[in-house]
Structure 1
């Protein structure tokens, strides 16, 4: 059963009709993650892949190209996103689809009779999880010995320009508090080894209004829990400050790799 916040997240992404046009950072991040995956699996290409939060299929399409012999189970919390991935990939017999909260994978997958996954991956879905350590334990239990979990997520310095604009104008900022690299390093489960790296992606934005509109278009405008809706006057102050000081927004991206111990 989905929590109220997960229901809200699914609704946001279901309503993101112009996702592909606005998702520049998502495309770049998916490509970087795919490159990390290709490098990490060169000796042992995966045959069974699980993707969490497939969105409209940016990463899915690259996985199928990288691993033509693999099967891919593409999952997402939002039905509309699964439909868009299916439309992007066409009638590819290697792909199956499941409507699923990636934080709570299907329980039957943990049964001994179910073949484990060689690769579990996700691009910019991890930041929506409410309990990452428990999610890691559940997901890593689904890996084959020597299998890999490889994900990307937003880190603490993401959207700093908008935070700064809100702070300077004493405007409440609804941007979620993202974790630090050090915090994520402490969350790896037992039974394998993991590490995180990070990078900065910079996106050009003509104005604050366009920046905020594009966040809505990609379903990423859901504020942190407890945030109250801004009054229009406060929002206008933050927008003016942003426009006077910024023409880019930075996304602090973390890339995580966990390898399950071999038997």
Structure 2
């Protein structure tokens, strides 16, 4: 199984429990909807749509536009919120089955971190018309730091995705033919009743698969107990913390032909 296929499988398995587990994802998505540009649109893409958190907001903002909900997890698309009028496309952000310069607005909340950033941004730029907008949220370096530190020294594997620094993200946008109109970053901390609930939450939203250098065998009981003890040692009044470094971005596709 390829890495992209493994990520797809992880999200498909999480599809039925994703909506109830993804509280932070809803909040981030709602804030991104508030940043949508004041413009008309004929075609709007919701890339990495998941179970459809953005659907209602996008239809309200662009009532006359054709809307396409795109996700590479068929499981997510199958449980997409009922009553949605969007066309649904099962496709990978690395290779979209859409014509070049066909979309006016591309909306994507907490999806890009699962992609090869230059590849996905180049594909997003390809499908956008010159002057079109890409509005997205993502996570940055420092996200899930508590999990990284809890596993440190126990094995030689990665246990979280390698997230980009904000400077790397900005440079990748420029290199892909985007002009950044807005970029906001913020630290958000989630709290859990205990260490096992923290780890389970990461699995429930399909985010526990690590593309590069991941451990394939189960962690032993003694090692898992040590991970939980390290997480519990960070306990605060509100619970066991897990940190997210979040970014919201509005970028414009350059008018030059890059196709």
TM-score (norm 2): 0.87
Q: How large is the RMSD of aligned CA atoms in angstroms?
A: 1.9
Question: How far apart in 2 are the matches of 1:215 and 1:117?
Answer: 33
The answer (yes or no) to whether the contact 1:18–1:217 under 8 Å persists in 2 is: yes
Secondary structure of the 1:98 match is strand
**Which runs of 5 or more residues in structure 2 are unaligned?**
none
Give, in angstroms, the shift of residue 51 of structure 1.
1.4
1:235 to 224, 227, 231: 224
**Which residue, out of 241, 244, 249, partners 1:248?**
241
Question: Where has structure 1 moved over 4 Å in runs of 4 or more?
Answer: none
Residues 110-145 of structure 1, C-alpha deviation per residue, up to 9 Å, x if partnerless?
2xxxx6211012111101112x22322222122122
1:31-110 aligned within 5 A: 31-37=30-36, 41-42=37-38, 44-85=39-80, 88-90=81-83, 92=85, 95-106=86-97, 108-110=98-100
Counterpart of 2:207 in structure 1 is 220
- Measured after TM superposition, the shift of residue 192 of structure 1 is 4.1
Q: For 2:176 and 2:76, how far apart are their aligned partners in 1?
A: 33
Q: Following superposition of structure 1 onto structure 2, how do residues 1-263 of structure 1 map, counting pairs within 5 Å?
A: 4-16=2-14, 17-37=16-36, 41-42=37-38, 44-85=39-80, 88-90=81-83, 92=85, 95-106=86-97, 108-110=98-100, 116-130=102-116, 132-167=117-152, 170-172=153-155, 173-188=158-173, 189=175, 191-194=177-180, 196-228=183-215, 229=217, 230-246=219-235, 247-262=240-255
Deviation at 1:61, TM superposition (A): 2.4
Secondary structure of 2:172 counterpart: coil
Question: How far does residue 46 in structure 1 lie from its aligned partner after superposition?
Answer: 2.7
